[in-house]
Structures are given as C-alpha cells and as structure tokens.
Amino acid sequence: MHVYFLGIAGAGVSALASVLASEGHTVSGSDDGVFPPVSTYLTRMGIPYHVGFDPAQIPAAIDVAIVGSSAKLDLGDNPELAELIRRGVPRYSFAEFLGLHTEGCENIVVAGSFGKSSLTAMIAFLMREAGKDPGYFIGAIPLDLDATGHAGKDKAFVIEGDEYIVGGDDRRSKFLLYHPSQVLLSSIVHDHVNVFPTMAAYERPFAELLTLLPRDNLLVCAQGYEPIERLTAGRKVVWYGLGDGADYRAHNIQVGEITTFDLTIPSGESIALSTQLLGLHNIENIAGAAALLLERGDIDAFTLRRSMPRFRGVARRLDKKTATSRVPAYEGFGSSYEKARSAIEAIALHFPGRPAVVVFEPHTFSWRNEDALAWYDTVFEGVSRVLLLPPPGHGAATHHQLSQTDILARIRTAGVDADAFANGPEVLAELDRSLAGDEVVLLLSSGPLAGLAETAPALLEAKFGTGADAPA
C-alpha cells in the first residue's frame, strides 16, 4: 500500500508514517513548514518528502492519503489537496486512520495535559528492555528508540493520546478515536483555550475517554488533580505520584546530575531507582510508567532498576544541547503554561542559584491568544531574563491574536527582565554580548525557534566550551 501524507512534518503525522513504514508500506509526503527535529528525523528514517505543495510531485499511484490539520496547510486552498480530491483518493486524518489501523490491538492510551510524550516513550522503551515488542505511537522524537512510531509484533500498542481536536471539520478529541483498552491519565489542567474556552469544555473529552474504557480495565492516574479525582469517582484507579496515599509513590528524592529516589509499590516493596532526567515532573512520570507496567506484569523490579538510568527522554523535553560549555543549554517543549513552568522549575531545581535565561517563542495558539494573557503573569517566575521572539502569523485570523508588543508588556508588568527580538541572529548577538558565563540557557518553544536550537548551543560551545578563549 502506498500512503501519501499531506503535512508530513507534523509530529503525529510523521509518527503514523513511521508505523506504516515499519510494516513495509510505501510512505511519502509533503509539507511547507519543515524544520528540525522532524526534518532531520524524516531524512534519517529514509521517508521521502518534498517541501511545498506541488501537485506535480504527488506520486501517480496512491492508495490512501493522510491529511494533516495544521493551520499552516491552509487546506481550503491547498493545490495538493485539490488534486487528491480530483483523483478520488481516499482521505483520512491521521487520528482517524491510526484509530482504524489499531482497532484490533490492545491499545494503551496515555492521555493528559502534559507528560504524554515522555510517558509513552518511557513505557515503550521499558517494554522493549523487558524483551517485548509493542507497537507505539509517540508525538515527539524519542532519544532511545529508533522511531516515533512502530507497528510491533505484540498485541499491546502504546498510543500518545492527544485531547486536541482532529481538525476544523471534526471537533472530536483525537484520543476518542483510539479504542482504549487501558488508560494512563497524567494530568488535567486547562489548556488549548482556542478550542476549549472553559475548563468544563476542556474536561468533557476526558470524561468521554473514560466512558470508552471498560469499567474493569486498568486505569492508572496521577495523584493530586481534582478533575481526575472527580471524573474517576466510583472507578477502580491505580494512583501514582510523589505524595502520601499513592499506590506507587516516589520519595527520598535526591536531586543531582543523576537523581535518585525510592519507589514504593502496593506490596510494600521499595525499589531504588535513578534517572538522568531533570525535574520532579519526570520523577512523577517514572512512577506512572512503572505503575502501568508493573500492574500489567510487563516488567519486574530488576529490569526497571537496570533500565531507568539509561532512558534519556524525548527531543525538546529538557534534552541537553551542549556538551562542554560551562553555560549549558537545554531545549524545552513550551506548548502550554504547565509545560513551560515544569521546564523552568526543573532548571531552577537542578541549577540552584544560577541565572536562568529563557529564549521563548510563543508558537501555539494558546500562547498568542489574548484569552490566555494571564499566563504571562507567573510563567517566568524565577527567571533572570527572557529573550522574546515574535509569535508566528499562521492561523492568526482564527483567534484573538496577541502581538509581540502585547506579550512583552505583560511579561515586564510581571516584573521579569525581558526584551523582544525580531529573529534568530538578533538573539544570538544578544547572547554573545550579554552572557557572563554563570548562566543556564533554556530554549523554550513548540515551533522552529528561528533555528536557535542548533545555532545557540554552537555559540555557547565556541564561547564557553572546553578550549574556548573565555576563562574557566
């Protein structure tokens, strides 16, 4: 089968392409917004694509087309879409096709406002460490797995379940199409305000997801979220977290370059674990993945203890971008308030007393929507300085778009030192001019960040790395 992907550089679309490629299908596609890490991922995987939407580039023989929903595609006027329609090629959203393709599997759906990508990658990694071959679908690039999507030979299929809508013409949350057999629920906090303007609207698809899960099937939930407690009332839940009362509780946490902690499980056994991941949120993620896999019987304490120190996470989730620079740079995925705060708090936790410089791009609709302007009042608490890139223009007409000036003013009103920059070279010049050598740099966006995920670490290595002229 030849499957053509319109908008192949989307995280979910490229992951589905990887699943199908692993089954031996022919996959190819196109996109106009192609940037690392997905662009380099597609090249590494040998998945062909062309940049731009040129009908002449569409292969002659296509069995199925997967149509991405990114606003950048401007699907109403897209010439490739028009050509696919003219040919009568069957068309699906990636979520719709993924749901149909995995309907006969034992789908483990990992849902929640944040933590989904890390948890899904962690679960798939640990299952493989235990000698299993699950299918998996991850909306980010794992650092310890060969691909973002894999068909697997086992019955289990681990799916990152996104609550965001399928597209403009299909307002269902993506995870409602995935036929859950088991569910891990990591968090529920208000997000995606452009499509869920109220907390009640945001909670509704999570409630519906739980109705799709058979009542006696495994449900693993993070402790401490009132909406989760309310929506799961009356159901059997396996709880995990950092607090007392959780069935799987992480405690005795010793933070460092390698963080150690104990995981107490329902039998009363305590498993000593360590991790190179930053932040308390990742300790909670480890507890959640362990809870799911130990409850399923997929892993034992020895394999968990042996494997966890080697897990490096996923790209753009606080992965270190420098090697020798005494000013380290980390890249965080700042698509929402909670994700940005988790990244900032992790940097503060692991680098106490060091000034944190955040390079921030307000890429998602929520960050550039005036209804979420209050996020800027507290998101950068504890940060020494913010270097602000402009918000992108795609999809600006579909919501209450903020300007860079609006965002900068709000950040400064919150008492944070912040400046606006037009592009990546301006940010680089400012980093070169202003860094003293004792800072930590956090690159925060869910978009291209003007290429700074590549250029800023190179600058820091040259200026502050081993062998640089700057004094140690």
Q: Same fold for the domain at 98-310 and the one at 319-464?
A: no
Q: What is the pLDDT of residue 416?
A: 98
Q: What would the pLDDT profile of 97-141 be if each residue is shown by its tens digit?
A: 999 999 999 999 999 999 999 999 999 999 999 999 999 999 999
Contacts with 462 (C-beta within 8 Å, 6 or more apart), sequence order: 468
State yes or no: pLDDT of 468 exceeds 70. Answer: no
| Euclidean distance between CA atoms 72 and 412, whole angstroms | 30
pLDDT at 329: 97
User: For the chain, first and last CA: distance in Å?
Assistant: 57
DSSP 3-state of 309:
helix
Between these two residues, 201 and 466, which has the higher pLDDT value?
201
Please tell me the predicted confidence (pLDDT) of residue 87.
95
- Candidates 303, 318, 392, 293; CA nearest to 118 is 318
- pLDDT digits 0-9 by tens, 390-428: 998 877 676 688 999 999 999 999 999 999 999 999 999
CATH architecture of 98-310: 3-Layer(aba) Sandwich (3.40)
Q: What is the pLDDT of residue 472?
A: 36
pLDDT at 354 over 70: yes
Q: Which CATH superfamily is domain 319-464 in?
A: Mur ligase, C-terminal domain (3.90.190.20)
Runs of H (alpha helix) within 195-336: 199-212, 226-231, 280-296, 301-307
**Coil, strand, or helix at residue 283?**
helix
Q: What is the mean pLDDT of residues 174-186?
A: 98
Q: What is the pLDDT of residue 73?
A: 57
- Is-contact 345 458, C-beta < 8 A? no
The confidence score (pLDDT) of residue 470 equals: 41
- Per the CB < 8 A criterion, the answer to whether 175 and 111 are in contact is yes
What token pair was written down for 71? 């606003």
Per-residue model confidence (pLDDT) at position 398 = 66
For the entire predicted model, the pTM comes to: 0.84
> Which class is domain 2-92?
alpha beta
Instruction: Tell me: pLDDT of 471 over 50.
Output: no
Question: pLDDT tens across 276-319, in order?
Answer: 999 999 999 999 999 999 999 999 999 999 999 999 999 888 98
Question: Alpha-carbon distance 394 to 166, whole Å?
Answer: 18
CB proximity list for 169: less than 8 A, separation 6 or greater: none
Residue 34 is predicted with a pLDDT of 80
Percent of the chain with pLDDT over 90: 83
CB atoms within 10 A of CB 224: 15
pLDDT band for position 72 (cuts 50, 70, 90)? low
**pLDDT-derived band at 71, boundaries 50, 70, 90:** very low
What is the rounded CA–CA span in Å between residue 192 and residue 339?
A: 12
Residue 77 has pLDDT above 80, yes or no: no
The rounded distance, in Å, linking the Cα atoms of 340 and 424 is 20
Average pLDDT, the chain: 93
Task: Record the tokens describing residue 421, joined without a space.
Answer: 């920059």
Domain range list for the chain: 2-92, 98-310, 319-464
